[in-house]
Amino acid sequence: MVLILLLFVVYYVKDLYLKLTPVFMKVVVKNIINSTIAAFHNDGILVYSHLEKAFLNKEQVELSFEGIERCATQFLNASIGKLYLQYDPHAVDNILQYNYANLSNLKAKISEVRNNAINSKEYDSLVNNATA
């Protein structure tokens, strides 16, 4: 009887745990672009489509730069910047995490890209309001 009760509790606690824990997705840049150089706009768009899918599904994402030798701003703008431009920045912040791997200045670069995208959105909004 105790065993049945225990199994019952374990089953429901597990179910509850799975419901409360967001799904975690790992997006590995190198595997998507098939290169160790993340530079092109089109590379970024490929990664963006993975990030957007996760964002719309409310999945937690780790964007991993493992195996990447060089990461250019053009790539970051088309992947991460575009996500911040298209969606609520706070919502993006809440789902997106990074594995910077060995790229020492990547954290600063991503921060710059994020702020640039948010500022660009605010600027567009001001222009639209002014010209409406």
Partner 1 sequence: MINYSLEGYIKTGYGGYNKLCSFYHFCLGHPNGTHFSLDFTRVEWIDGNLCALLLAIVYHLNKTYGHTITTDMDVIKERFSVLLRNGFLKSEDYPHDDRQSTVPVEYFSPEDKEGFNNYLQYSLLTHRGMPSNLTDTLKEQIKEDILEVFCNTNHHANTQEPFFVGGQFYPKIGILKFTMVDLGDGFLPRIQKATQGKITDCLSSILWALEGNSSKNFLDNCPGGLGITSMKKYFAENNGVLQIISGDGFWSSDLSGSVFEGGRTLKNPFLGTTINLFFGQ
Q: State the nearest-atom distance from the C-beta of 52 to partner 1, in Å.
A: 12
Reading phi first (left if > 0) and then psi (alpha if -120 to 50, else beta), residue 101 is in left
63 binds partner 1 (CB under 8 A): no
CA distance 102 to 85: 27
**DSSP letter, residue 22:** P
Binding span for partner 1 by CB under 8 A among 5-13, 14-22, 58-66, 83-91: 83-91
CA–CA distance, 130 with 60 (Å, rounded to integer): 37
Backbone conformation region of residue 35, classed left if phi is above 0, alpha if psi is from -120 to 50, else beta: beta
CB of 117 to partner 1, least distance (A): 4
Verify binding: residue 46, partner 1, rule CB under 8 A: no
Site of interaction with partner 1 (CB under 8 A):
35-37, 39-42, 44, 69-70, 72-75, 77-78, 81-82, 84-86, 105, 113, 116-117, 120, 124
